[in-house]
Amino acid sequence: MLGGSVAGMEVVVSLGMKRREMAHIIRKRFDKVENAYQRVTEHFEVDDIHEFRIEIKKLRAFLRLLGETKGKKGKLPKRLHQFYQLAGNIRNLQLQQKRVRELRKDQGLPQAYLNLLNTEAATQILVAGNMARNHLSLQKERKNILSRLPDSLRRKGRERYVRGGGTHLEGLAATPPPRPDDTLHSIRKICKDLYYNRQYIGQEAGLELPSTLLREEGMKGLTDVLGDFQDMHTALELLHDRYTCLIADGGERAILDSLKREWEEKKRTIREGVNGLLVETVHPRQL
C-alpha cells in the first residue's frame, strides 16, 4: 500500500462529520452548480461549460466519499449526469473547431469538416436545451441527494475511500508502458477525486498516499499533463472516420491527415512525460 505524509494538506475532518455538516457542503456545492448551470443554458459557451463541469466533478467527488459510509459507490443523479455528459460533448466539439482554426489560421481551413462539427454541436445544444427545460430540475436533484445523506461520515468510511483510491491508483500506475488511454484517463479521475476531497480526508490520505501526490504542485503537475493527454485523445477521436469519410475534397482530407499525424506525435510525447511523472508521484517504487 502507498505511504506518505499529509504534506501541508488542510485537515477539516478529525473524528467524523455529522449530517448537518454534510448537508451544508452539499448546499454550497449545488449553489455553485446552479450558478454555472444558468450561464450554460443561456448560451452554451466553452468557458461556462468548463466551469459547470468542474463544479459537477467536485459534487460527484464528495458524493463518492459519502457513498463509502454506506459501503457503496456514490453517484450523481441520472439526469444531471446525462446533462453533464451532453455539455462535455458540446464543449469538445467547440474546442475542436477552435483548435483546428488556430492551427490552420495562416493556411487553408478544412471548412467542410468544421461545418460538420458545428452542425453536430448545434444539434446537441438543442438536445441539452430541451433536457434543461423539460426534464432536469436542479432543485429536485438537490432535495433528493439531501434526503439520502448518511447520519455521519466517520473515519472508517474515509479510510475505505482513500485506501480504495490508493490501491486502484497503484494498480493502474503499475500497468506496463505504454499504458492504454483509458488507464491514463482513470488515473486522472481518481487523482482529481482525491484532490477535490482533500480537506475532508487529510489524515487518512497522509497515511495511505505518497507525499509527492498530496502536495498541490505534485497533484497539479500530474493532472495537468494527464489533461493535455486527454485533450489529444479527444482531438484524435474527433478525426474518426465518422467525420472524415464525409469529406469529398481531396485537399481537405490531406489537411486532416496532416493534423492527425501532428496530434499523434504530440500525444506520444505527452505519454512519455506522463510515464515519468507516474514514477515520481503515484507509484514511487520500481515499476
Ranges of each domain in the chain: 16-282
| The pLDDT value given to residue 70 | 65
In 3D, which of 169, 159, 181 has the Cα closest to residue 284? Answer: 169
Q: 15 falls in which pLDDT band (50, 70, 90)?
A: low
Residue 283 has pLDDT above 90, yes or no: no
Cell of 270: 505527452
Residue 52 has pLDDT above 90, yes or no: yes
The CB density around residue 276, as the number of other CB atoms within 10 Å, is 10
Q: How many residues does the chain have?
A: 287
Lowest mean pLDDT among 64-78, 133-147, 175-189, 253-267: 64-78
Cell of 12: 477539516
CA–CA gap between residue 50 and residue 32 (Å, rounded) = 13
Q: 72 falls in which pLDDT band (50, 70, 90)?
A: low
The tens digit of pLDDT for each residue in 169-180 reads: 989 998 888 899
The tens digit of pLDDT for each residue in 128-176 reads: 999 999 999 999 999 999 998 988 888 888 999 999 999 999 899 988 8
Strand duo 16-18 + 152-154: pairing: antiparallel
| The pLDDT value given to residue 218 | 77
Dihedral of CA 6/194/66/207: which sign?
negative
The CB density around residue 246, as the number of other CB atoms within 10 Å, is 11
Q: Which one has a higher pLDDT value, 186 or 8? A: 186
Residues 246-272, mean pLDDT to the nearest whole number:
92
Asked if residue 149 lies in contact with residue 66, where contact means CB atoms within 8 angstroms, the answer is: yes
| The pLDDT value given to residue 212 | 74
In 3D, which of 208, 173, 122 has the Cα closest to residue 283? Answer: 173
Residues 243-260, mean pLDDT to the nearest whole number:
89
Q: How many CA atoms lie within 13 A of 100 on its CB side?
A: 28
If you average pLDDT over every residue of the chain, what do you get? 88
| The pLDDT value given to residue 71 | 59
CA–CA gap between residue 275 and residue 39 (Å, rounded) = 38
CA–CA gap between residue 193 and residue 60 (Å, rounded) = 8
Q: Which CATH superfamily is domain 16-282 in?
A: CHAD domain (1.40.20.10)
CA angle 188, 189, 192 (to 5 degrees): 85
Q: 103 falls in which pLDDT band (50, 70, 90)?
A: confident
